A and B are shown apart, each in its own frame.
Chain A
Amino acid sequence: MSYLLPLMVCFMVSASVFIGRDVISVKDFTREEVDYLLRIASEMEPLAESSSDILKGKIMATLFFEPSTRTKLSFEAAMYKLGGLVIGFSEPEASSMKKGENLADTVRVVEKYADMIVLRHPAEGAARFAAEYAKVPVINAGSGAEEHPTQAFLDLYTIMKEKGRIDGLKIALMGDLRYGRTVHSLAYALSLYKTKLFLVSPELLRIRREVLEDVNARIEVSEHSNIEEILPEIDVLYVTRIQKERFPDLAEYTKVRGSYVIDLNVLRRARSDLIILHPLPRVDEIASEVDSTPFARYFQQVKNGLVVRMALLALILGAVKE
Protein backbone atom coordinates (compact mmCIF):
# COMPACT_ATOMS: atom_id res chain seq x y z
CA MET A 1 0.00 0.00 0.00
CA SER A 2 2.90 2.33 0.60
CA TYR A 3 3.20 3.19 -3.11
CA LEU A 4 -0.20 4.86 -2.85
CA LEU A 5 0.99 7.35 -0.33
CA PRO A 6 2.81 9.83 -2.58
CA LEU A 7 -0.15 9.73 -4.94
CA MET A 8 -2.55 10.66 -2.18
CA VAL A 9 -0.33 13.42 -0.95
CA CYS A 10 -0.29 15.08 -4.35
CA PHE A 11 -4.10 15.10 -4.49
CA MET A 12 -4.42 16.60 -1.04
CA VAL A 13 -4.24 20.36 -1.06
CA SER A 14 -3.60 22.21 2.15
CA ALA A 15 -3.21 25.85 3.09
CA SER A 16 0.56 25.49 2.95
CA VAL A 17 0.64 25.35 -0.87
CA PHE A 18 -0.58 28.95 -0.95
CA ILE A 19 1.87 30.48 1.50
CA GLY A 20 4.11 33.04 -0.21
CA ARG A 21 2.78 32.08 -3.59
CA ASP A 22 2.50 34.38 -6.63
CA VAL A 23 -0.87 34.55 -8.38
CA ILE A 24 0.07 35.29 -11.98
CA SER A 25 -2.08 33.09 -14.18
CA VAL A 26 -4.99 30.71 -13.66
CA LYS A 27 -2.85 28.21 -15.59
CA ASP A 28 -0.52 27.95 -12.59
CA PHE A 29 -3.30 26.38 -10.48
CA THR A 30 -4.73 22.88 -10.33
CA ARG A 31 -8.40 22.12 -9.92
CA GLU A 32 -7.76 20.87 -6.37
CA GLU A 33 -6.11 24.16 -5.47
CA VAL A 34 -8.96 26.20 -6.94
CA ASP A 35 -11.53 24.05 -5.11
CA TYR A 36 -9.63 24.63 -1.89
CA LEU A 37 -9.53 28.40 -2.48
CA LEU A 38 -13.30 28.46 -3.11
CA ARG A 39 -13.88 26.54 0.12
CA ILE A 40 -11.79 29.01 2.14
CA ALA A 41 -13.68 31.85 0.42
CA SER A 42 -16.99 30.50 1.69
CA GLU A 43 -15.47 30.35 5.18
CA MET A 44 -14.65 34.06 4.80
CA GLU A 45 -18.32 35.02 4.31
CA PRO A 46 -18.99 35.74 8.02
CA LEU A 47 -15.74 37.73 8.30
CA ALA A 48 -16.84 39.90 5.36
CA GLU A 49 -19.92 40.84 7.38
CA SER A 50 -18.00 41.67 10.54
CA SER A 51 -14.23 41.99 10.46
CA SER A 52 -11.15 40.26 11.77
CA ASP A 53 -7.55 40.89 12.67
CA ILE A 54 -5.91 37.79 11.22
CA LEU A 55 -3.68 39.97 8.98
CA LYS A 56 -2.87 42.52 11.68
CA GLY A 57 0.53 44.08 11.07
CA LYS A 58 0.65 42.96 7.43
CA ILE A 59 0.98 45.48 4.61
CA MET A 60 -0.32 45.04 1.07
CA ALA A 61 0.96 47.37 -1.69
CA THR A 62 -1.34 48.10 -4.60
CA LEU A 63 0.61 49.21 -7.67
CA PHE A 64 -1.87 50.27 -10.34
CA PHE A 65 -0.10 51.47 -13.48
CA GLU A 66 -3.49 51.54 -15.18
CA PRO A 67 -6.76 52.79 -13.70
CA SER A 68 -9.13 50.25 -12.18
CA THR A 69 -11.13 51.65 -9.32
CA ARG A 70 -13.20 48.54 -8.75
CA THR A 71 -10.43 45.96 -8.57
CA LYS A 72 -8.35 48.25 -6.37
CA LEU A 73 -11.26 48.91 -4.00
CA SER A 74 -12.01 45.21 -3.77
CA PHE A 75 -8.42 44.27 -2.84
CA GLU A 76 -8.17 47.13 -0.35
CA ALA A 77 -11.49 46.29 1.29
CA ALA A 78 -10.42 42.64 1.56
CA MET A 79 -7.19 43.64 3.30
CA TYR A 80 -8.96 46.03 5.72
CA LYS A 81 -11.59 43.40 6.56
CA LEU A 82 -8.77 41.11 7.69
CA GLY A 83 -7.12 43.80 9.79
CA GLY A 84 -4.21 44.53 7.46
CA LEU A 85 -2.92 47.81 6.02
CA VAL A 86 -2.69 49.11 2.48
CA ILE A 87 -0.15 51.35 0.74
CA GLY A 88 0.19 52.07 -2.96
CA PHE A 89 -0.55 54.30 -5.89
CA SER A 90 -2.75 54.39 -8.93
CA GLU A 91 -2.49 55.66 -12.44
CA PRO A 92 -2.07 59.49 -12.15
CA GLU A 93 0.98 59.14 -9.89
CA ALA A 94 2.07 56.08 -11.83
CA SER A 95 2.33 58.03 -15.06
CA SER A 96 4.91 60.36 -13.57
CA MET A 97 6.67 57.31 -12.23
CA LYS A 98 6.69 55.64 -15.64
CA LYS A 99 8.99 58.33 -16.99
CA GLY A 100 11.66 57.57 -14.45
CA GLU A 101 11.66 54.25 -12.71
CA ASN A 102 10.84 50.97 -14.41
CA LEU A 103 8.70 48.13 -13.08
CA ALA A 104 11.67 45.97 -12.05
CA ASP A 105 13.03 48.75 -9.83
CA THR A 106 9.61 49.74 -8.49
CA VAL A 107 8.89 46.26 -7.13
CA ARG A 108 12.36 46.02 -5.60
CA VAL A 109 11.67 49.27 -3.72
CA VAL A 110 8.10 48.46 -2.69
CA GLU A 111 8.94 44.97 -1.40
CA LYS A 112 10.97 46.62 1.36
CA TYR A 113 7.74 48.11 2.77
CA ALA A 114 5.11 45.50 1.92
CA ASP A 115 4.41 41.83 2.58
CA MET A 116 2.67 41.43 -0.77
CA ILE A 117 2.26 43.32 -4.03
CA VAL A 118 -0.97 43.62 -6.02
CA LEU A 119 -0.12 44.74 -9.55
CA ARG A 120 -2.18 46.12 -12.42
CA HIS A 121 -0.08 46.92 -15.52
CA PRO A 122 -0.83 47.56 -19.21
CA ALA A 123 1.87 45.17 -20.50
CA GLU A 124 1.09 41.51 -21.04
CA GLY A 125 3.29 39.28 -18.92
CA ALA A 126 4.01 42.21 -16.55
CA ALA A 127 2.99 40.29 -13.44
CA ARG A 128 5.21 37.31 -14.27
CA PHE A 129 8.09 39.68 -14.90
CA ALA A 130 7.50 41.60 -11.65
CA ALA A 131 7.33 38.34 -9.69
CA GLU A 132 10.78 37.39 -10.99
CA TYR A 133 12.18 40.53 -9.36
CA ALA A 134 10.07 40.72 -6.21
CA LYS A 135 10.93 38.70 -3.13
CA VAL A 136 7.38 39.11 -1.77
CA PRO A 137 4.41 37.43 -3.46
CA VAL A 138 2.88 39.24 -6.45
CA ILE A 139 -0.83 39.06 -7.27
CA ASN A 140 -1.79 39.85 -10.85
CA ALA A 141 -4.71 42.29 -10.79
CA GLY A 142 -4.77 42.51 -14.58
CA SER A 143 -1.86 42.34 -17.05
CA GLY A 144 -2.90 44.11 -20.25
CA ALA A 145 -5.32 42.01 -22.29
CA GLU A 146 -3.66 38.84 -21.02
CA GLU A 147 -5.09 37.70 -17.68
CA HIS A 148 -6.98 38.70 -14.56
CA PRO A 149 -6.87 35.56 -12.43
CA THR A 150 -8.60 36.82 -9.27
CA GLN A 151 -11.60 37.89 -11.35
CA ALA A 152 -11.81 34.33 -12.71
CA PHE A 153 -11.70 32.89 -9.18
CA LEU A 154 -14.57 35.14 -8.08
CA ASP A 155 -16.52 34.23 -11.23
CA LEU A 156 -16.09 30.54 -10.39
CA TYR A 157 -17.13 31.20 -6.82
CA THR A 158 -20.25 32.98 -8.04
CA ILE A 159 -21.19 30.11 -10.35
CA MET A 160 -20.57 27.59 -7.56
CA LYS A 161 -22.65 29.60 -5.10
CA GLU A 162 -25.52 30.33 -7.46
CA LYS A 163 -25.66 26.95 -9.20
CA GLY A 164 -24.34 24.67 -6.48
CA ARG A 165 -21.81 23.14 -8.88
CA ILE A 166 -19.55 23.93 -11.83
CA ASP A 167 -19.18 20.44 -13.33
CA GLY A 168 -21.75 19.62 -15.97
CA LEU A 169 -22.70 23.23 -16.74
CA LYS A 170 -23.02 24.77 -20.19
CA ILE A 171 -21.48 28.21 -20.12
CA ALA A 172 -21.42 30.96 -22.76
CA LEU A 173 -18.81 33.74 -22.80
CA MET A 174 -20.01 36.64 -24.92
CA GLY A 175 -18.59 39.96 -26.18
CA ASP A 176 -14.95 40.97 -26.61
CA LEU A 177 -13.18 37.65 -26.24
CA ARG A 178 -9.97 38.83 -27.90
CA TYR A 179 -8.97 41.69 -25.63
CA GLY A 180 -10.95 40.67 -22.56
CA ARG A 181 -8.44 39.56 -19.94
CA THR A 182 -11.22 38.35 -17.64
CA VAL A 183 -12.47 36.07 -20.40
CA HIS A 184 -9.03 34.51 -20.93
CA SER A 185 -8.60 33.73 -17.25
CA LEU A 186 -12.17 32.48 -16.90
CA ALA A 187 -11.87 30.19 -19.93
CA TYR A 188 -8.74 28.60 -18.41
CA ALA A 189 -10.48 28.30 -15.05
CA LEU A 190 -13.60 26.68 -16.51
CA SER A 191 -11.45 24.18 -18.40
CA LEU A 192 -10.39 22.77 -15.01
CA TYR A 193 -14.00 21.59 -14.60
CA LYS A 194 -16.22 19.36 -16.73
CA THR A 195 -17.93 22.24 -18.48
CA LYS A 196 -19.04 22.88 -22.05
CA LEU A 197 -18.02 26.28 -23.36
CA PHE A 198 -19.74 28.43 -26.02
CA LEU A 199 -17.72 31.43 -27.23
CA VAL A 200 -19.95 34.12 -28.73
CA SER A 201 -18.30 37.13 -30.40
CA PRO A 202 -17.95 39.09 -33.63
CA GLU A 203 -15.40 37.59 -36.04
CA LEU A 204 -12.92 40.37 -35.23
CA LEU A 205 -13.04 39.73 -31.49
CA ARG A 206 -12.73 35.94 -31.44
CA ILE A 207 -10.75 34.48 -28.55
CA ARG A 208 -6.97 34.28 -29.02
CA ARG A 209 -5.83 31.08 -30.69
CA GLU A 210 -3.43 30.16 -27.88
CA VAL A 211 -6.25 30.38 -25.31
CA LEU A 212 -8.63 28.41 -27.51
CA GLU A 213 -6.08 25.64 -28.10
CA ASP A 214 -5.22 25.30 -24.41
CA VAL A 215 -8.85 25.24 -23.34
CA ASN A 216 -9.99 23.01 -26.18
CA ALA A 217 -7.39 20.42 -25.19
CA ARG A 218 -9.35 19.86 -21.98
CA ILE A 219 -13.03 20.61 -22.62
CA GLU A 220 -15.52 20.93 -25.46
CA VAL A 221 -15.56 24.43 -26.94
CA SER A 222 -17.53 25.92 -29.85
CA GLU A 223 -17.45 29.39 -31.41
CA HIS A 224 -20.56 31.33 -32.43
CA SER A 225 -21.54 34.72 -33.83
CA ASN A 226 -25.03 34.76 -32.41
CA ILE A 227 -26.24 34.15 -28.86
CA GLU A 228 -29.82 33.35 -29.87
CA GLU A 229 -29.03 29.96 -31.44
CA ILE A 230 -27.49 28.61 -28.23
CA LEU A 231 -29.37 30.57 -25.56
CA PRO A 232 -32.01 27.87 -24.84
CA GLU A 233 -29.22 25.41 -23.97
CA ILE A 234 -27.03 27.35 -21.57
CA ASP A 235 -26.91 27.55 -17.76
CA VAL A 236 -24.58 30.54 -17.38
CA LEU A 237 -24.18 33.57 -19.64
CA TYR A 238 -21.07 35.68 -19.05
CA VAL A 239 -21.29 39.04 -20.82
CA THR A 240 -18.40 41.42 -21.51
CA ARG A 241 -18.34 44.84 -23.12
CA ILE A 242 -17.50 45.41 -26.76
CA GLN A 243 -15.56 48.68 -27.10
CA LYS A 244 -15.90 50.62 -30.30
CA GLU A 245 -12.16 51.43 -30.27
CA ARG A 246 -11.54 47.79 -31.19
CA PHE A 247 -13.10 48.29 -34.62
CA PRO A 248 -11.26 49.87 -37.56
CA ASP A 249 -14.36 51.86 -38.51
CA LEU A 250 -17.50 52.95 -36.76
CA ALA A 251 -19.82 51.43 -39.39
CA GLU A 252 -18.50 47.96 -38.63
CA TYR A 253 -19.06 48.53 -34.91
CA THR A 254 -22.63 49.77 -35.33
CA LYS A 255 -23.37 46.76 -37.51
CA VAL A 256 -22.38 44.13 -34.94
CA ARG A 257 -23.15 45.95 -31.71
CA GLY A 258 -26.87 45.15 -31.62
CA SER A 259 -26.23 41.40 -31.75
CA TYR A 260 -24.37 41.53 -28.44
CA VAL A 261 -26.91 43.28 -26.27
CA ILE A 262 -28.94 41.27 -23.77
CA ASP A 263 -32.46 42.52 -23.06
CA LEU A 264 -35.77 40.97 -22.03
CA ASN A 265 -36.68 40.26 -25.63
CA VAL A 266 -33.54 38.16 -26.17
CA LEU A 267 -34.06 36.41 -22.83
CA ARG A 268 -37.52 35.09 -23.79
CA ARG A 269 -35.80 31.97 -25.11
CA ALA A 270 -33.55 31.44 -22.10
CA ARG A 271 -33.90 28.65 -19.54
CA SER A 272 -35.73 29.85 -16.47
CA ASP A 273 -32.71 29.07 -14.27
CA LEU A 274 -30.15 30.83 -16.47
CA ILE A 275 -27.82 33.16 -14.57
CA ILE A 276 -26.13 36.18 -16.15
CA LEU A 277 -22.73 37.39 -14.97
CA HIS A 278 -20.66 40.43 -15.97
CA PRO A 279 -17.22 41.54 -14.70
CA LEU A 280 -18.50 45.19 -14.49
CA PRO A 281 -18.43 48.04 -15.27
CA ARG A 282 -21.40 47.44 -17.56
CA VAL A 283 -22.38 50.05 -20.13
CA ASP A 284 -25.34 49.06 -22.29
CA GLU A 285 -24.56 45.45 -23.24
CA ILE A 286 -27.05 44.33 -20.60
CA ALA A 287 -30.22 46.45 -20.64
CA SER A 288 -31.09 47.82 -17.20
CA GLU A 289 -34.51 46.14 -17.45
CA VAL A 290 -32.66 42.83 -16.89
CA ASP A 291 -31.30 43.94 -13.49
CA SER A 292 -34.50 43.16 -11.61
CA THR A 293 -34.97 39.68 -13.13
CA PRO A 294 -33.78 36.49 -11.40
CA PHE A 295 -31.28 36.06 -14.26
CA ALA A 296 -29.13 38.96 -13.06
CA ARG A 297 -26.36 37.95 -10.65
CA TYR A 298 -23.69 40.50 -11.57
CA PHE A 299 -24.05 42.57 -8.42
CA GLN A 300 -23.66 39.44 -6.27
CA GLN A 301 -20.31 38.96 -8.03
CA VAL A 302 -18.96 42.11 -6.39
CA LYS A 303 -19.54 40.74 -2.88
CA ASN A 304 -18.10 37.41 -3.94
CA GLY A 305 -15.01 39.22 -5.18
CA LEU A 306 -14.46 40.52 -1.67
CA VAL A 307 -14.56 37.09 0.02
CA VAL A 308 -12.45 35.40 -2.67
CA ARG A 309 -9.77 38.09 -2.34
CA MET A 310 -9.95 37.85 1.46
CA ALA A 311 -9.35 34.10 1.15
CA LEU A 312 -6.43 34.61 -1.22
CA LEU A 313 -4.74 37.26 0.94
CA ALA A 314 -5.18 35.18 4.10
CA LEU A 315 -3.85 32.05 2.40
CA ILE A 316 -0.82 33.70 0.79
CA LEU A 317 0.14 35.48 4.02
CA GLY A 318 -0.15 32.23 5.96
CA ALA A 319 -3.10 33.24 8.15
CA VAL A 320 -5.25 30.20 7.35
CA LYS A 321 -4.71 27.32 9.74
CA GLU A 322 -5.03 23.76 8.41
Chain B
Amino acid sequence: MNAESWETLFMRILQNICLVLGMSRRTLRVSKIRDGTVIDHITSGHALNVIKILGINGRSNGIVTIAMNVPSQKLGVKDIVKVEGRELNPEEVNRIALIAPHATINIIRNFKVVEKQRVKLPSIIQGTIKCTNPPCISNSENEPVKPIFYVEGEEPLRLRCHYCGHIMGKEDVLKQY
Protein backbone atom coordinates (compact mmCIF):
# COMPACT_ATOMS: atom_id res chain seq x y z
CA MET B 1 0.00 0.00 0.00
CA ASN B 2 1.42 3.37 -0.88
CA ALA B 3 1.23 6.52 1.21
CA GLU B 4 -1.61 7.94 -0.83
CA SER B 5 -3.94 5.00 -0.23
CA TRP B 6 -3.06 4.92 3.46
CA GLU B 7 -4.28 8.45 3.58
CA THR B 8 -7.52 7.58 1.80
CA LEU B 9 -8.10 4.68 4.14
CA PHE B 10 -7.43 6.87 7.14
CA MET B 11 -9.89 9.47 5.94
CA ARG B 12 -12.53 6.79 5.37
CA ILE B 13 -12.08 5.48 8.91
CA LEU B 14 -12.39 9.01 10.26
CA GLN B 15 -15.59 9.49 8.32
CA ASN B 16 -17.00 6.27 9.77
CA ILE B 17 -16.17 7.45 13.26
CA CYS B 18 -18.03 10.63 12.51
CA LEU B 19 -21.06 8.76 11.29
CA VAL B 20 -21.11 6.65 14.45
CA LEU B 21 -20.77 9.77 16.58
CA GLY B 22 -23.49 11.50 14.64
CA MET B 23 -25.95 8.64 15.02
CA SER B 24 -25.50 8.06 18.70
CA ARG B 25 -24.61 11.46 20.02
CA ARG B 26 -27.02 11.12 22.92
CA THR B 27 -25.04 8.30 24.45
CA LEU B 28 -21.55 8.72 23.06
CA ARG B 29 -19.59 11.77 24.09
CA VAL B 30 -16.36 12.63 22.36
CA SER B 31 -13.74 11.70 24.90
CA LYS B 32 -11.81 14.39 26.72
CA ILE B 33 -8.19 14.87 25.82
CA ARG B 34 -5.31 15.30 28.19
CA ASP B 35 -3.02 17.62 26.23
CA GLY B 36 -3.65 19.14 22.86
CA THR B 37 -6.08 21.36 20.98
CA VAL B 38 -9.84 21.35 20.59
CA ILE B 39 -11.08 23.22 17.54
CA ASP B 40 -14.72 24.01 18.20
CA HIS B 41 -17.45 25.82 16.25
CA ILE B 42 -16.14 24.69 12.87
CA THR B 43 -18.61 25.51 10.11
CA SER B 44 -20.59 22.30 9.63
CA GLY B 45 -19.12 20.10 6.92
CA HIS B 46 -15.61 21.49 7.22
CA ALA B 47 -14.06 19.22 9.86
CA LEU B 48 -12.22 17.17 7.26
CA ASN B 49 -10.97 20.33 5.59
CA VAL B 50 -9.59 21.52 8.92
CA ILE B 51 -7.77 18.18 9.26
CA LYS B 52 -6.43 18.60 5.75
CA ILE B 53 -5.32 22.19 6.20
CA LEU B 54 -3.42 21.21 9.38
CA GLY B 55 -1.56 18.56 7.41
CA ILE B 56 -2.85 15.74 9.60
CA ASN B 57 -2.68 12.40 7.80
CA GLY B 58 -2.26 8.69 8.42
CA ARG B 59 1.38 9.18 9.31
CA SER B 60 0.76 11.72 12.07
CA ASN B 61 1.11 10.71 15.70
CA GLY B 62 -1.56 11.18 18.32
CA ILE B 63 -5.28 10.62 18.45
CA VAL B 64 -7.48 12.81 16.31
CA THR B 65 -11.20 12.86 17.02
CA ILE B 66 -13.79 14.37 14.76
CA ALA B 67 -17.42 15.15 15.48
CA MET B 68 -19.71 16.36 12.76
CA ASN B 69 -23.17 17.91 12.84
CA VAL B 70 -23.11 18.53 16.58
CA PRO B 71 -26.06 20.72 17.66
CA SER B 72 -24.89 24.25 18.44
CA GLN B 73 -26.76 27.26 19.77
CA LYS B 74 -24.59 29.64 17.81
CA LEU B 75 -24.37 27.86 14.46
CA GLY B 76 -27.29 25.41 14.42
CA VAL B 77 -24.92 22.55 13.77
CA LYS B 78 -21.16 22.56 13.99
CA ASP B 79 -18.15 20.29 13.65
CA ILE B 80 -15.48 19.72 16.30
CA VAL B 81 -11.91 18.44 15.90
CA LYS B 82 -9.74 17.32 18.81
CA VAL B 83 -6.03 16.88 18.26
CA GLU B 84 -4.20 15.03 21.03
CA GLY B 85 -0.65 16.07 21.86
CA ARG B 86 -0.41 19.10 19.61
CA GLU B 87 -0.83 22.82 20.32
CA LEU B 88 -1.57 24.89 17.25
CA ASN B 89 0.70 27.81 16.42
CA PRO B 90 -0.66 31.20 15.25
CA GLU B 91 0.07 30.42 11.59
CA GLU B 92 -2.04 27.25 11.82
CA VAL B 93 -4.82 29.18 13.55
CA ASN B 94 -4.79 31.65 10.65
CA ARG B 95 -5.13 28.83 8.17
CA ILE B 96 -8.18 27.51 10.01
CA ALA B 97 -9.71 30.98 9.92
CA LEU B 98 -9.60 30.84 6.13
CA ILE B 99 -12.07 27.95 5.97
CA ALA B 100 -13.87 28.12 9.34
CA PRO B 101 -14.13 31.80 10.33
CA HIS B 102 -16.22 31.11 13.48
CA ALA B 103 -13.97 28.44 14.97
CA THR B 104 -12.69 28.63 18.52
CA ILE B 105 -9.38 27.16 19.58
CA ASN B 106 -9.00 25.63 23.04
CA ILE B 107 -5.55 24.66 24.19
CA ILE B 108 -5.77 21.80 26.69
CA ARG B 109 -3.15 20.92 29.28
CA ASN B 110 -3.80 18.20 31.82
CA PHE B 111 -7.51 18.02 30.88
CA LYS B 112 -7.98 21.74 31.50
CA VAL B 113 -8.60 24.54 29.00
CA VAL B 114 -5.62 26.83 29.56
CA GLU B 115 -6.23 29.07 26.61
CA LYS B 116 -9.32 29.83 24.59
CA GLN B 117 -9.38 32.02 21.53
CA ARG B 118 -11.62 32.72 18.55
CA VAL B 119 -9.88 32.45 15.22
CA LYS B 120 -9.71 35.75 13.45
CA LEU B 121 -9.06 36.26 9.80
CA PRO B 122 -6.56 39.11 9.46
CA SER B 123 -7.32 41.74 6.82
CA ILE B 124 -4.03 40.94 5.08
CA ILE B 125 -2.67 37.41 4.74
CA GLN B 126 1.03 37.03 4.10
CA GLY B 127 2.90 33.90 3.16
CA THR B 128 0.32 31.33 4.30
CA ILE B 129 -1.07 30.54 0.86
CA LYS B 130 -0.06 30.88 -2.78
CA CYS B 131 -1.69 32.73 -5.66
CA THR B 132 -3.50 30.25 -7.93
CA ASN B 133 -2.86 32.41 -11.00
CA PRO B 134 0.25 30.65 -12.45
CA PRO B 135 1.81 33.68 -14.25
CA CYS B 136 1.63 35.79 -11.06
CA ILE B 137 5.01 37.24 -10.02
CA SER B 138 4.41 35.92 -6.48
CA ASN B 139 4.84 32.38 -7.88
CA SER B 140 8.29 33.21 -9.26
CA GLU B 141 11.05 31.12 -7.72
CA ASN B 142 13.86 33.56 -8.54
CA GLU B 143 12.34 36.61 -6.90
CA PRO B 144 12.42 37.54 -3.20
CA VAL B 145 8.64 37.67 -3.04
CA LYS B 146 6.07 36.61 -0.45
CA PRO B 147 2.44 36.19 -1.55
CA ILE B 148 0.14 38.83 -0.04
CA PHE B 149 -3.67 38.73 -0.10
CA TYR B 150 -6.34 41.17 0.94
CA VAL B 151 -9.37 39.60 2.63
CA GLU B 152 -12.39 41.08 0.86
CA GLY B 153 -14.94 38.66 2.32
CA GLU B 154 -15.05 36.01 5.07
CA GLU B 155 -18.13 33.99 4.17
CA PRO B 156 -17.91 33.22 1.36
CA LEU B 157 -14.16 33.68 1.49
CA ARG B 158 -12.81 36.20 -1.03
CA LEU B 159 -9.10 36.96 -1.26
CA ARG B 160 -7.45 39.34 -3.71
CA CYS B 161 -3.80 38.92 -4.67
CA HIS B 162 -1.83 42.09 -3.93
CA TYR B 163 0.34 41.57 -7.02
CA CYS B 164 -1.85 40.32 -9.87
CA GLY B 165 -5.33 41.13 -8.52
CA HIS B 166 -6.52 37.53 -8.94
CA ILE B 167 -9.53 36.60 -6.77
CA MET B 168 -9.48 33.35 -4.79
CA GLY B 169 -12.16 31.52 -2.82
CA LYS B 170 -12.28 28.68 -0.31
CA GLU B 171 -11.72 25.98 -2.98
CA ASP B 172 -8.53 27.70 -4.12
CA VAL B 173 -7.21 27.58 -0.56
CA LEU B 174 -8.20 23.94 0.01
CA LYS B 175 -6.54 22.88 -3.27
CA GLN B 176 -3.20 23.85 -1.76
CA TYR B 177 -3.25 21.40 1.13
Which residues of A are at the interface with B, using a C-beta cutoff of 8 A?
25, 27, 102-104, 121-126, 128-129, 143-146, 209-210, 213
Contact = CB atoms under 8 A, between A and B. Distances in A.
B30 interface: no
Nearest to A213: B167
Interface stretch (B13-21, B72-80, B87-95, B158-166): B158-166
B143 A102 contact: yes
Given A128-B162, A210-B160, A210-B165, A123 B137 contact: yes
A125 B148 CA distance: 11
Given A129-B163, A209-B167, A124 B143 contact: no
Contacts of B138: 125, 129
B140 to A, nearest CB: 6
Contacts of B161: 125
Contacts of B166: 124, 210
Contacts of B136: 123-125
12 contacts: A27-B165, A102-B142, A103-B140, A103-B143, A123-B135, A123-B137, A125-B163, A128-B162, A129-B145, A144-B135, A145-B135, A146-B164
B143 A128 contact: no
A209 B135 CA distance: 17
B133 interface: yes
Contacts of B163: 124-125, 128-129
Contacts of A128: 137, 162-163
Interface string B129-151: 00001011110101111000000
A210 B167 CA distance: 6
Contacts of B140: 102-103, 123
Main secondary structure of the interface of B (DSSP, over half): loop
Nearest to A122: B135
Interface of B: 133, 135-138, 140, 142-145, 160-167
A126 B137 contact: yes
Contacts, number: 56
Contact of B164 (A102, A124, A209): A124
Contacts of A125: 136-138, 161-165
A226 to B, nearest CB: 28
B167 A124 contact: no
Give me the 9 closest cross-chain CB pairs, A-B, nearest first.
A125-B163, A124-B164, A125-B164, A123-B137, A125-B137, A102-B142, A210-B167, A129-B137, A126-B137
Nearest to B131: A125
B144 A104 contact: yes
A101 to B, nearest CB: 9
Contacts of A124: 133, 135-137, 163-166
Nearest to B141: A102
Contacts of B167: 209-210, 213
Given A102-B140, A122-B135, A124-B166, 11 more contacts: A25-B165, A103-B137, A123-B135, A123-B136, A123-B140, A124-B136, A124-B165, A128-B137, A128-B163, A129-B138, A209-B167
Most chain A beta-carbon neighbours within 10 Å: one of B136, B143, B165: B165
A97 to B, nearest CB: 11
A211 to B, nearest CB: 8
Nearest to A102: B142
Nearest to A27: B165
Contacts of A126: 137
Given A122-B135, A124-B136, A125-B136, A146 B143 contact: no
Contacts of B137: 103, 121, 123-126, 128-129, 143
A67 to B, nearest CB: 17
Nearest to A125: B163
Contacts of B164: 124-125, 144, 146
Contacts of B144: 102, 104
B111 to A, nearest CB: 48
Contacts of B165: 25, 27, 124-125, 146, 210
A132 B145 CA distance: 10
Contacts of A213: 167
Contact of A129 (B133, B135, B143, B160): B143
A103 B163 CA distance: 14
A257 to B, nearest CB: 25
A144 B133 CA distance: 12
Nearest to B142: A102
Contacts of A121: 137
Most chain B beta-carbon neighbours within 10 Å: one of A103, A122, A125, A128: A125
Contacts of A103: 137, 140, 142-143
